[in-house]
Amino acid sequence: MLSRVAERVYWMARYVERAENTARMVTAFNLLSLDMPKSVQVSWKGLVEVTGNEGLFDNHYQRDDERNCVKFLLADADNPSSVLNSLQAARENVRTTRDLVPSEAWEVMNELYLFARDHIDQGIGKRGRFEFLSEVVQRCQTLTGLLAGTMSHDAAYDFIRLGRNLERADMSTRHVDVGALKLLKKDGEDPDPYEGLLWTSILRSGSGFQMYRQHVKRRINGVDVVRFLLQDTAFPRSVTHTLTQVQDALEKLPRNELPLRLVIQARRHASSAHVEELIAEDGLHAFMDVLQRDIGDIHGANVETWFRIAPVQTQTQAA
């Protein structure tokens, strides 16, 4: 399989996942903002921070109000991770690998992008936001399902799984991080009366609310939510589960030593963390930072191993 093609399907999966995750996150936060009493201000800027693009946001916007934040996350042309840009990049990657992916997948992808482009105002405005975002999430899921159900599970598909799960792992660490930053710095103070709502919202961002209820069966609280999102082995968006998936995909690919070593390390790191201690010692944010760097390193190893093969290597190749 050509490196270029592998790289394109990998990014296609990452971008689709990114669009879906962003749409889910905005949906959850939107619900939260509706639940909060008028006296409590929810910080939409927090969402921008989750994506790690707050610098870019500050360069382009004066006010971090709801409209600007949502516009930035969904539609902004300058935000490379906005839903619209992600979908456009995903579409371009599918289009240039059309020989490889099932033709239905191209059609779904193309229509998804066109839908998002044509209805983006609905997503920015308050009234149509929920419908718009659900539609995006649903269509992303359609695409993922279509690929799982109609594409041969060969190397190309392994690169798709690799990209999807790495992106998911990254997003889950960010969800936990936002909780760490916003909610846990209240040492000694009364627990915020709305903390439960906020953690619920974080669970919803990763569509984990229902699964959490089924598996944890306890009052929503920070420690359990972090543990669930970080270490649950069954929930498909927990960091541990996604990294297991990454490992699984990597094991099927050739010359996988470096990325495989890194992912095993990262997974062990995530699953062996003492969440209670981390929270008590105010170390959760720093921990998530390291984990995010681990994930970045796995990506870097993928690029180095498969996508950017330097010509110098001809020296060591048998002709």
Residues that bind other proteins (CB under 8 A): 1-4, 6, 95-96, 98-99, 103, 155, 253-255, 306, 309, 311, 313-315, 317, 319
Smallest separation (angstroms) from other proteins to the CB of 35: 41
Smallest separation (angstroms) from other proteins to the CB of 165: 18
Nearer to other proteins, 272 or 317 (CB): 317
Nearer to other proteins, 234 or 309 (CB): 309
Spatial separation of the C-alpha atoms in residues 146 and 110, rounded to whole Å: 14
Burial of 232 (0-12, 13-18, 19+ CB in 10 A): buried
Smallest separation (angstroms) from other proteins to the CB of 25: 29
CA 165 to chain centre: 8
Spatial separation of the C-alpha atoms in residues 43 and 263, rounded to whole Å: 34
Smallest separation (angstroms) from other proteins to the CB of 1: 5
Give the CA radius of gyration of the chain.
20
Smallest separation (angstroms) from other proteins to the CB of 101: 13
Nearer to other proteins, 63 or 255 (CB): 255
Nearer to other proteins, 233 or 319 (CB): 319
Nearer to other proteins, 62 or 319 (CB): 319
Spatial CB neighbours of 47, under 8 Å, sequence gap ≥ 6: 25, 26, 29, 69, 73, 178
Show the tokens assigned to 319.
């002709």
Smallest separation (angstroms) from other proteins to the CB of 240: 27
Spatial separation of the C-alpha atoms in residues 18 and 49, rounded to whole Å: 15
Give me the helices (H) in 75-128, please.
Answer: 83-95, 103-124
With b meaning 16 or more CB within 10 Å and e meaning fewer, what string describes 205-224?
bbbbbebbeeebeeebebeb
Nearer to other proteins, 6 or 13 (CB): 6
